[in-house]
Amino acid sequence: MSSSFAAVLFDLDGVLIDTETIIGALWAEIFAERDLHLSAAEITRLTSGQRFEGVLRQLDEERGWKAPEDFLPMLGERFNGAFSHVPVIDGAADTLRALKAAGIPFAVASNSEKNRLHLKLDGAGLTALVGPHAYDPSVVGGVGKPDPALYEYAATQLGVPVTRCLVVEDSAPGARAGVASGATVWGLLAGGHLSHDGRDALAEVGVTRFLDSHAELREALGIDVPLMMGHPSSPIS
């Protein structure tokens, strides 16, 4: 059995790569330097699936904290330096290989800034598997999720209607973008940062199915890791 979807569109952080520990620790460090002492849960709520501008907007609205002029460039430098090595979520590379073997096109659509998106893919060793289909908000005029434009653009680049795509997400802003685009949205809770509260938030915005691993995702799509690639979850050469 093969997938009934024309293409699969992946979020990056928390879906293919496990950056949440890196990102959470870095945000906590940056906030503490500015006397913003937030719990790990608060940091996750503020930052998950958000662009830098969205995080700063929430801090202003909720805490009345306004970022200085040099804050965004500083964030860019600090985050760019954190992604020389990025853990791949267990089974993610196998899922991409299985999709290739099944002839199902796929793309990555991330709220990460363009340079940072490619740093993450390089740091995770996924650049060759993903190929040219990795998209960031710059391709749609800087508009990120929860706006659906990024997923709509990715589907267009793959040459398929977005309504025939599966979007795989782990955050409410990203899931909202996928639902608004008209795609089917599944929640993949394979990263280390989402709890039951995360599942509830995703269901609330229209996620129709939840999976706890890439192995479950491949089974749901009816695709298998090609035998010539070796044992499932073998490292990328």
In this prediction, residue 130 carries a pLDDT of: 97
pLDDT of residue 196: 42
Residue 146, CA distances (Å) to 8, 11, 24, 89, 173 in order:
18, 12, 21, 23, 5
Which pLDDT value is given to residue 237? 31
- pLDDT per residue over 202-227, tens digit each? 999 999 999 999 999 999 999 999 87
Please state the rounded mean pLDDT for residues 73-92.
87
pTM for this prediction: 0.79
Residue 236 vs residues 92, 126, 176: alpha-carbon distances, Å: 11, 8, 32
Q: What is the chain's mean pLDDT, rounded? A: 88
The one-character DSSP state at 100 is: H
Question: For residue 164, is pLDDT > 60?
Answer: yes
Delineate the domains of the chain, giving CATH numbers in brackets.
7-19+86-228 (3.40.50.1000), 20-80 (1.10.150.240)
Amino acid at 15: V
The pLDDT of residue 49: 67
Instruction: Please report the pLDDT score of residue 188 as a whole number.
Output: 95
